[in-house]
Amino acid sequence: MPAPSPRLSDPQDLLLGYLDHLRAMIAAKIAAMPEADLRTSLLPSGWSPLELLKHLVHMERRWLRWGFLGEPVPAPHGDKDASGRWHVGPDETAAELIAALHAGGEQTRAIVTGTPLATDSATGGRFPADGQAQPPTLGWILFHVLQEYARHSGHLDIVHELGSGAPHPAG
């Protein structure tokens, strides 16, 4: 998916367009990696590309459904094991996680479309209803999710280059 048009000026369209673009880039980077590379870490921090992908699936759900909408979400931190490290089970596949990434993007688009960016998040989900802190706006959440995607897309470029010795073609 190409980047959004440089003629776009609506902030909501720009945020959604770049989220779609980054999701597609990340999916292409993951799909181009051999299976063994997807489950292997080349970094001192120890995460694998598949673990990063699963993190992104859960991250977006945490911020939009559990956070902004205040929905009860089963296992909002299901991307982590008991120690807090990212984790992917041996039966989880890149194809399944890529499909979940795109499904999450469709959910985000459905949540955001027609909702003003200045709308405050609901309380009771990710954000307590204790009145001690003002929940973030939808615009803040979308910008936060966008920077997560951008940062982790770059991480995948580095991992690919460490493994193959060449820049990633989808980078």
- The 10s digit of each residue's pLDDT in 109-160 is 999 999 999 999 999 889 988 877 789 999 999 999 999 999 999 999 999 8
Q: What pTM was estimated for this model as a whole?
A: 0.93
Q: For the chain, what percent of residues have pLDDT higher than 70?
A: 96
134's enclosing H/E stretch is none
Residue 73 lies in a domain: yes
Model pLDDT, residue 12: 96
Q: Is position 35 within any domain?
A: yes
Sign of CA dihedral 54, 12, 141, 130: negative
Residues 48/39, Cβ–Cβ less than 8 Å:
yes
Q: Is residue 15 part of a domain?
A: no
Range of the domain at 37: 23-164
Query: For residue 124, what is the domain's CATH number?
Result: 1.20.120.450
2, part of any domain: no
pLDDT of residue 170: 60
**Structure tokens that stand for 17 in this block:** 């367009």
pLDDT for position 130: 81
CB 44 within 8 A of CB 34: no
Q: If you count them, how many residues does the chain have?
A: 171
48 CB-near residues (< 8 Å, 6+ apart): 38, 39, 40, 41, 86, 88
Q: Is residue 169 part of a domain?
A: no
Residue 157, in any domain of the structure:
yes
Mean pLDDT along residues 30-37: 91
User: What is the rounded distance in angstroms from the CA atom of residue 116 to the CA atom of residue 139?
Assistant: 8
pLDDT band at 166, cuts 50/70/90?
Answer: low
Number of domains in the chain: 1
pLDDT at 143: 98
The tens digit of pLDDT for each residue in 78-99 reads 999 999 999 999 999 999 999 9
3-state secondary structure of 106: helix
Of 2-6, 55-59, 89-93, 167-171, give the lowest mean pLDDT range: 167-171
What confidence score (pLDDT) does residue 70 get? 95
pLDDT at residue 171 is higher than 60: no
Q: In whole angstroms, what is the distance from residue 98 CA to residue 102 CA?
A: 6
Look at residues 94, 50, 100, 95 and name the one whose alpha carbon lies nearest to residue 75. Answer: 100
